[in-house]
Amino acid sequence: MDYNTQRKKLRLPEYGRHIQQMVDHIASIEDRDERNRLAKSLIAIMGNLNPQLRAVNDFRHKLWDHLFIMSDFKLDIDSPYPRPEVEKYYEKPRNVPYPSHPVKFKHYGRIIELMIEKAIAMDEGPEKEAFKQLIANQMKKANITWNKESVTDEDIFRDMQTLSNGRLVMAPGSKLIDKREVKPTGGKRPKHHRKR
């Protein structure tokens, strides 16, 4: 038996073994004009096999790059695009710098903390009050999403004051959105959908 695990490893498995075999066949042809003609035909086939690539800008360039990658950059043909660089294909991605700043309340997240910093820097006035109201409403939504228990407006105001080190205080009598206005994000199905 001939198993795929015993065969040569595919460089781009999404195209399948038959396309890889066609690429290998084109690379073995001596006549350059014949190689160019077959490569153009193969690009058309690859485009038909992956129609989702058409949504990508300049998808033909991507197909030609894939052709060179599948040939292990050994295919000697005339491409309408510059050949991809071997070094770029094999280079490791750069490390993503993760934030080292600890989040005080994980259920609010880092974005809320950044919004509070922005609100602290704003000049006093109606715009700052409206922004504080938006932040507090977002905090309440996040709290309800994660905790599912009833949370009071005073709890949110206290958390906002803690996060801002006492620099953001909501006006007395401020009201936030009602719990019923927050859409649940749970996985409950409507009653008319039954599991079969």
Banded pLDDT at 54 (limits 50, 70, 90): confident
pLDDT at residue 195 in the model: 56
- Length of the chain in terms of residues written: 196
pLDDT at residue 49 in the model: 87
Which whole-number Å values give the CA distances from 55 to 13, 51, 81, in the listed order?
A: 20, 8, 19
Question: Does 188 have pLDDT greater than 60?
Answer: no
- Mean pLDDT value across residues 155-175: 89
Q: Which of 28-32, 130-134, 142-146, 154-158 has the lowest mean pLDDT?
A: 142-146
pLDDT at residue 11 in the model: 87
- Six-digit token string for 100: 């080292």
What does the alpha-carbon distance between residue 122 and residue 120 come to, in Å, rounded to a whole number? 6
Structure confidence by residue, pLDDT tens digits, 93-119: 888 887 777 888 888 888 899 999 999
- Mean pLDDT value across residues 48-62: 85
Share of the chain above pLDDT 90, in %: 44
- Six-digit token string for 70: 């599948």
> Is-contact 144 179, C-beta < 8 A?
yes
Structure confidence by residue, pLDDT tens digits, 131-143: 999 999 999 888 8
pTM over 0.75: no
Average pLDDT, the chain: 86
pLDDT at residue 193 in the model: 55
pLDDT at residue 138 in the model: 92
